[in-house]
Structure 1
Amino acid sequence: MSIILSLNSISKRYGAIQALGGVSFSIPEGSVFGILGPNGSGKTTLLGIVTDVLKADSGSFTLFGQAPSAVQRQKIGTLLETPNFYHYLSARNNLKVVAAIKRQSEADIPRVLDLVGLAARQHSAFKTYSLGMKQRLAIAAALLGDPQVLILDEPTNGLDPEGIAEIRTLIRTLATQGKTIIMASHLLDEVEKVCTHVAILRKGELLSSGPVNTVMAREDFIEIGSADVQALTRLIQQHPAFEKVLPNGNNLLHVTFNHAIDPAALNTWCAEQGVWLSHLQIRRKSLETAFLELTNN
């Protein structure tokens, strides 16, 4: 698989603040790549450097396997801020303004309006649009000229549930058409549902990167309980596959094993050791817990 963007030790400071510290990762062609992290983690700074809005203090990156150039950047469509359009103009006329600024042909406007699902409302004034429609128009503007890569900074920020669903559906549609999409987000749920790959940032440092199902893996654990929780805790630590045990505050234990455990076999094993289980259930670690464990290590 070809690499669209490769970052090599990108660093950026704002006075005493280290916005990015030696960040390196690669984005494969055709992926929906999420750059995930809380506010202040360096996501927007990183996108600003890639799109030539900011300059890195050190490090380098390549686009399409080459040093970035004006020609390479023409293959990228960007949406880095809240979209600004003329409220009294229609969607079509707003895109005419954008096309003139970007030096793109107006002939591409019908294609992008259809792509984002706004063809039927292209003559309506921008001020009559819902939040989701306004964001879709902004993505249409970024798609003028048919760029190979789309860069979106917090594309669902501030949207209601309906608008979020609209943008997620649009991103998935664009991905099926071969676009590489790079999106910054602080929403775990969004990245898990939309992205194929992810890089996780914390305070300007890269914690992990790779396929979403690898980086954000969530192992199963078994929740158990008995009349004597202390005796159960001592016993479970003797199990051959034991890895970790945590109390959950309800006289129950969350136990992680180093391989899959048959619940019936575990129940029998405990009984053979003289401890009878009153509760046994397989559970899956929440996405939030997995993320906090990763970012707090």
Structure 2
Amino acid sequence: MSTILSLNNISKRYGHVQALDGVSFDIPAGSVYGILGPNGSGKTTMLGIVTDVLKADAGSFTLMEQTPSAAQRRKIGTLLETPNFYHYLSAYKNLQIVANIKQTSEQDIPRVLELAGLVARQHSAFKTYSLGMKQRLAIAAAMLGDPEVLILDEPANGLDPVGIAEVRNLIRQLAQSGKTIIMASHLLDEVEKVCTHVAILRKGKLLGSGPVNAVLSRDNFIEIGGPDNQALSQLIKQHPAFVQVLPGQDGILQVTFRETIDPASLNSWCAQQGVWLSHLQMSRKSLETAFLELTNN
């Protein structure tokens, strides 16, 4: 898989604040790449540098295998701020203005309205739109000219659940058409549902990058319980594949093994040691737990 964007030791400082500190990672073509982190982690600064709104203090990046030129910029659609359109104009007229600014043909407007699901409301004033519709119009504006790459800063920020679902479905649709989508977000759930890859930032530092399942590792574990969980905890440490035991809710033990363990064979092993389990259940670490473990280290 080819690389669409490569960042090499990008650093940026605002006074005493180190917004980015030597950040490097690659974004593969055709991916939906989430830049994940809490507010103040450096996500927007990074996107600003990639789109030439900001200049890095150190480091470099290549986009589409070369240093971005004016021609390359036309292949990138961006949404870096809250949608800002003329409230009393229709979606169509607002897109006419955007097309003129971007120096692209107005003939592309029907296509992006169709993609955004706004054909039926294309002649309604922007002020009558819901938050989700406004955000979809902003993405439609970014899509004018049919760019190969979309860069979206917090596309679901401030939306209600319906609006979030609308934007999520649009991003999925665009991804299926072969676009590379780079999106910053602090919403862990949205990254899991939409993104194929992720880079996690905290206070300007890169904590990890790559496929979502690899970066946010969510190992299976087995919950067990018995008449004497303290004794059970000591016993389970003798299992040949034992890695870790942690206390769970209601005294239940959460046990991790270095390999997949069949619950029936574990139950049999415990019985052979003279311990009968009253609770035995396969489980999986939540995405939130995996994220907190990574960011709290």
What interval of TM-score do these two structures reach, taking the shorter chain for normalisation?
Answer: over 0.9
Sequence identity of aligned pairs in percent? 78
What SS does the corresponding residue of 1:261 show, helix, strand or coil? coil
What SS does the corresponding residue of 1:145 show, helix, strand or coil? coil
Structure-1 residue corresponding to 2:74: 74
- Partners of 1:282 and 1:171 lie apart in 2 by 33
- Partners of 1:177 and 1:262 lie apart in 2 by 41
- Partners of 1:2 and 1:233 lie apart in 2 by 48
- Partners of 1:153 and 1:269 lie apart in 2 by 52
What SS does the corresponding residue of 2:278 show, helix, strand or coil? strand
How far 1:250 sits from its partner (Å)?
Answer: 1.2
- Which amino acid is 2:17 matched to? I
Following superposition of structure 1 onto structure 2, how do residues 121-132 of structure 1 map, counting pairs within 5 Å?
A: 121-132=121-132
- Partners of 1:114 and 1:230 lie apart in 2 by 62
Structure-2 residue corresponding to 1:165: 165
- Partners of 1:210 and 1:124 lie apart in 2 by 42
Q: Which runs of 4+ in 1 moved over 2 A?
A: none
Of the structure 1 ranges 263-272 and 80-89, higher mean CA displacement relative to structure 2 is found in 263-272
How far 1:257 sits from its partner (Å)?
Answer: 0.5
- Partners of 1:80 and 1:29 lie apart in 2 by 21
Structure-2 residue corresponding to 1:187: 187
What SS does the corresponding residue of 1:138 show, helix, strand or coil? helix
Q: Does the CA contact (< 8 Å) of 1:36 and 1:186 recur in 2?
A: yes
What SS does the corresponding residue of 2:218 show, helix, strand or coil? coil
Of the structure 1 ranges 98-107 and 203-212, higher mean CA displacement relative to structure 2 is found in 98-107
Structure-1 residue corresponding to 2:153: 153
- Partners of 1:3 and 1:252 lie apart in 2 by 46
Q: Does the CA contact (< 8 Å) of 1:11 and 1:57 recur in 2?
A: yes
- Partners of 1:271 and 1:20 lie apart in 2 by 54
- Partners of 1:264 and 1:111 lie apart in 2 by 56
- Partners of 1:4 and 1:216 lie apart in 2 by 23
Which runs of 5 or more structure 2 residues have no equivalent in the other structure? Answer: none
What SS does the corresponding residue of 1:18 show, helix, strand or coil? strand
Following superposition of structure 1 onto structure 2, how do residues 274-289 of structure 1 map, counting pairs within 5 Å?
A: 274-289=274-289
- Partners of 2:251 and 2:237 lie apart in 1 by 17
Structure-2 residue corresponding to 1:92: 92
How far 1:274 sits from its partner (Å)?
Answer: 2.1
Structure-1 residue corresponding to 2:37: 37
Structure-2 residue corresponding to 1:260: 260
- Partners of 1:58 and 1:124 lie apart in 2 by 46
What SS does the corresponding residue of 2:104 show, helix, strand or coil? coil
Q: Does the CA contact (< 8 Å) of 1:219 and 1:285 recur in 2?
A: yes
The one-character-per-residue Cα deviations of 1:44-89 (angstroms, maximum 9, x if unpaired) are 0000000001110100000110112222111101000000111110
- Partners of 1:292 and 1:210 lie apart in 2 by 17
Structure-2 residue corresponding to 1:205: 205
- Which amino acid is 2:122 matched to? Q
How far 1:249 sits from its partner (Å)?
Answer: 4.0
How far 1:217 sits from its partner (Å)?
Answer: 2.7
How far 1:122 sits from its partner (Å)?
Answer: 0.6
Which runs of 5 or more structure 1 residues have no equivalent in the other structure? Answer: none
What SS does the corresponding residue of 1:123 show, helix, strand or coil? coil
Q: Does the CA contact (< 8 Å) of 1:153 and 1:184 recur in 2?
A: yes
Q: Does the CA contact (< 8 Å) of 1:231 and 1:275 recur in 2?
A: no
What SS does the corresponding residue of 2:83 show, helix, strand or coil? coil
What SS does the corresponding residue of 2:189 show, helix, strand or coil? helix
Structure-2 residue corresponding to 1:196: 196
- Partners of 1:77 and 1:59 lie apart in 2 by 23
- Partners of 1:291 and 1:213 lie apart in 2 by 11
What TM-score do the two structures reach when normalised by structure 2? Answer: 0.98
Matched, 1:2 2:10: no
Matched, 1:294 2:264: no
- Partners of 2:197 and 2:184 lie apart in 1 by 12
What SS does the corresponding residue of 1:166 show, helix, strand or coil? helix
What SS does the corresponding residue of 1:277 show, helix, strand or coil? coil
- Partners of 1:100 and 1:41 lie apart in 2 by 35
- Partners of 1:189 and 1:277 lie apart in 2 by 34
- Partners of 1:229 and 1:111 lie apart in 2 by 62
Structure-2 residue corresponding to 1:178: 178
How far 1:212 sits from its partner (Å)?
Answer: 1.4
Q: Does the CA contact (< 8 Å) of 1:95 and 1:141 recur in 2?
A: yes
What SS does the corresponding residue of 1:13 show, helix, strand or coil? strand
How far 1:213 sits from its partner (Å)?
Answer: 2.1
